[in-house]
Structure 1
Amino acid sequence: MIVTYDQEVDAIYFKLTENKIHSTEPETDRIIIDYDNNNNIVGIEVLDFYYLVRKGLNVADLPFPENERLTACQYFNIPVTA
């Protein structure tokens, strides 16, 4: 998993595979999922990430593959100072 965070806009992207993005679907107005040709998740983008974490968003709310959940958890447990 490769994770990028843009502090200026409070957006995080979890890149789960190197597969080419075939389609992008909004899960909600702040959560966007990228899929490959086989409908596997390539990446998950969360806009207003720390705002949503403060409101209760956690790793269980997103469609992470089981083998990536532990890695993803560390990003949800960072203390929010904004």
Structure 2
Amino acid sequence: MIVTYDNEIDAIYFKLTENKIDSTEPETDRIIIDYDKDNNIVGIEVLDFYYLVKKGLTVNDLTFPEQHKTTASQYFNIPVAV
């Protein structure tokens, strides 16, 4: 898994596979999921990431495959600047 964070727009992207993105679907107004042609998750983008973590968002609120939940959960312990 590759994780990138864009500080300017407060968005984090969890890239789970190297598969080509075939479609993108909003899960909520702040969570966007990319899928491959076989409907497998390629990546998950979380907009307003620090705000959502501060409000209590956890890795369990996102659609991560089980093998990525432990790795992803470390990003939910990032100190939030108020």
Return the TM-score normalized by structure 2. 0.97
Following superposition, the deviation at residue 8 of structure 1 comes to: 1.0
Percentage of identical aligned residues: 80
Any idea what the Cα deviations from partners look like across 1:7-62, whole Å, max 9, x if unmatched?
Answer: 11100000000000000000011100000001000000000000000011000000
For the residues of structure 1 that align with 2:24 and 2:55, how far apart are their CA atoms? 25
SS of residue matched to 2:18: coil
1:37-76 mapped onto 2 (5 Å cutoff): 37-76=37-76
Aligned to 1:9: 9
For the residues of structure 1 that align with 2:35 and 2:58, how far apart are their CA atoms? 21
Return the TM-score normalized by structure 1. 0.97
Q: Which runs of 4+ in 1 moved over 3 A?
A: none
1:78 aligned onto 2:70:
no
Following superposition, the deviation at residue 79 of structure 1 comes to: 1.2
Following superposition, the deviation at residue 81 of structure 1 comes to: 1.9
Query: Aligned pairs, how many?
Result: 82
Query: Please, which runs of 5 or more residues in structure 1 have no aligned partner?
Result: none
Aligned to 1:20: 20
